Structure 1
Amino acid sequence: MKVLVIHNLGSGYGEGAIYDFIRTYSVDGDSVTMRFFNGITPFSELLKDAKDFDFVVACGGDGTIATISYELRNTNIPILPFPAGTANLLAMNLLSPSEPHALTKLADQANTMLFDLGEIECKDTKVGFTMMAGCGYDQLIMSNARRKKRLLGPIAYFEAALTNPAPQVSEFAITIDGKTIQSSGIGVVLTNFSKIQFDLMVSDKNLPRDGMLDLVVLKTKNAVELLPTVFAKAVDHSGDLAKKIGAVEVYRGREITIDAEPAMLLEYDGEATQLSTPFTARCLPGAVRYIVSEECIKMFASKEKASEE
């Protein structure tokens, strides 16, 4: 087997689990190529010959895996997401293990599944996301959590949310597949995969293979007003109770354009940016092939069957 490993040196806690994976996975005759990223070399350069390998290991946090996935979109090259960040939400949604020996077994079994990707176009820039993207309060949380992720781990995101109780409120003009709606609030979140820490669902569905993105408008005037909705989603995963509270609006679409006044900054898969509204998000159906477990395949097959009934 020929394997290409892309390892983000700055992800997570700087642990060396990827080297344990290579030692465990490799057998006589295998060829493993490692390339390192630390914020300078473009991923397009690191992945320019990815088609020459049997599969690519994307080692890093959700942002790293999203960028590699977007770079390899529509190539059908299998990608093994290797969770080495702080949140590792994609691995959680895929039911993937984090331990190197278990990931070796996953790679040996070589089960794959196609998933949608999200794409954001803002001015002259395009980026991809696997999990979520957003603007406003969402971006503020990701930006403020960055400094404490290594110290606090996933708790850094909740700490950042609680220490910013009065974020900016904007008026939104949102166009979903050609239809425009008006709304207001402290932010907007787009989801492909929807589950986050503590088994919370940001949107009502978790269907990253249906060619659609979920759009969640945070309609409150401050962060404290979101707490009842968070509690509702914790006790009722259907989303019905959260809808009754009225602090969020949920929509679905294939192409979504968001404008805000005042303008809001963007984030994608935990990466806070200096890009700002307006921007367009679109779903890229079946654009990435992940190496996953049999449990993952069964889970999404079951979800898709239930959504059709």
Structure 2
Amino acid sequence: MRCLIVHNPRSGFGSDAVFAFERELVHAGDECVLRVLGEDCDNEQVLEDAESFDVVVISGGDGTVSNLLYTLRGRGVDTCVFPSGTANLLFANIGNSPEPAALARACRWANVASCDLGEATWSVDGTSFTRGFSIMAGTGFDAELMSAAAPNKRAMGEAAYFMAALSDPNPRVVHYVIEVDSVTHKCDGIACLVANNAMIQLDMEIVPGCTMDDGQLDVIVLEVSRTAELIRPLLSGLLDPKGKLGRPTLETFRGASISITASEPIPMQVDGEVIAQSVTHWDANVLAGVNNLIVDGLSHYAPDSPRTNPKHPVPAELAFPE
């Protein structure tokens, strides 16, 4: 088996867990190429020969993973997401076992799910920008929160996000005009997000039924005026993680093509990475089924008819006990 591992050492706490995974994955007769990302790496160049490998492993935080998945979109490459970031929300949404040997075994069986990506487009001073996202992109309070948390993420981990939220008790309320599949909606709130996956920390689903294999995206508007008002949906999420009883103070819409206009320039983030310029208008579209993600038996994306034999030979130490 030929394997390519692309690793961002600056993600999360700099864990070396990916190297433990590599030791589990590679055995006699295999070839493994490790490429470590620098600050100015060209993703197209890093992945230009991805099709020549049996599996590509992407190791990093959600921002790194999303950027690399966007580069691999539509190329039919079997891709394993390895959690090396702070939150690792995409990995949590996929639902694979985090144990290195289990992930290595999954790579050899190569059961894959065809998964969607979101694509966000915006313009600043006449220049257009486009980014892919696997979790969510958003404008307003969530982008301000990401920006405030950034300096403390490496030291505090996920706690940095909660500290950032508490530091701004009265975020700006913005008027949004949102077009979803040609239907217009008007809302006021502190943030507007577009989600490809909607499960966040503590296994809470912001929007019930938001998955990355349905060919749609979910729009979420936080219709509150103070940070304290987020306590209701937070408690709702803790008591009802799947959102079966609904989410108070949240307005949601679902569709494949989305256009968002804000009443004033506001910050924007894409999978936790804050955009340098504020925006007033942006578009989001779903890219249906563009990534082949490795899944194991624990994932709810596991195929209904999984492989009965591994695609690549499984060493005895990785085989399931009889």
Using the size of structure 1 for normalisation, the TM-score is 0.92
Does residue 298 of structure 2 align to residue 295 of structure 1? Answer: yes
- Over the matched positions of the two proteins, sequence identity in percent amounts to 35
Aligned residues: 299
Q: Quote how far apart the aligned CAs of 1:204 are.
A: 2.3
Amino acid at match of 1:133: A
Q: 2:86 is paired with a residue of what secondary structure?
A: coil
Is the aligned partner of 1:154 residue 2:158?
Answer: yes
- Distance apart, 1:298 and its partner CA: 6.0
| 1:121 matched residue in structure 2 | 121
Which of structure 1's runs of 4+ aligned residues deviate more than 4 A? 240-243, 297-301
Q: How does 1:193-232 map to 2 (within 5 A)?
A: 193-232=197-236
Higher helix share: 1
Matched, 1:256 2:268: no
Gaps of 5+ in 1: 302-309
Look up the match of 1:91: 91
Looking at structure 2, the residues matched to 112 and 202 of structure 1 have their Cα atoms a distance apart, in angstroms, of: 26
Three-state SS of the structure 2 residue aligned to 1:259 is strand
Alignment-derived partner of residue 305 in structure 1: none
User: How far is the alpha carbon of 1:300 from its aligned partner?
Assistant: 8.2
Q: Distance in 2 between matches of 1:29 and 1:117?
A: 34
- Given the alignment of the two structures, is residue 283 of structure 1 paired with residue 286 of structure 2, yes or no? yes
Task: Report the 3-state secondary structure (helix = DSSP H, G, I; strand = E; otherwise coil) of the residue aligned with 1:293.
Answer: coil
Aligned pairs for 1:156-171 (under 5 A) are 156-171=160-175
How far off its partner does 1:232 sit? 1.4
Deviations 1:102-141 (CA, angstroms, capped at 9, x unpaired)? 3212212221111111000112111011111111111111
> How far apart, in 1, do the equivalents of 2:79 and 2:301 lie?
19
Residues 242 and 162 of structure 1: CA distance in aligned 2, closer, same or farther (over 3 Å): farther
Q: Which residue identity does 2:288 align to in structure 1?
A: P
Q: CA RMSD in A?
A: 1.7
Q: CA separation of 1:203/1:299 partners in 2, compared to 1, >3 Å: closer, same or farther?
A: farther
TM-score by length of structure 2 reads 0.88
Does structure 2 conserve the Cα–Cα contact (< 8 Å) formed by 1:91 and 1:97?
Answer: no
Q: Distance in 2 between matches of 1:199 and 1:52?
A: 36
Q: Which residue of 1 aligns with 2:142?
A: 138
Structure 2: distance between partners of 1:48 and 1:298? 27
* Alpha-carbon shift at residue 83 of structure 1 (Å): 0.3
Provide, for residues 153-183 of structure 1, a one-character-per-residue CA deviation record: whole Å limited to 9, x for no partner: 1122122112222112111111111122211
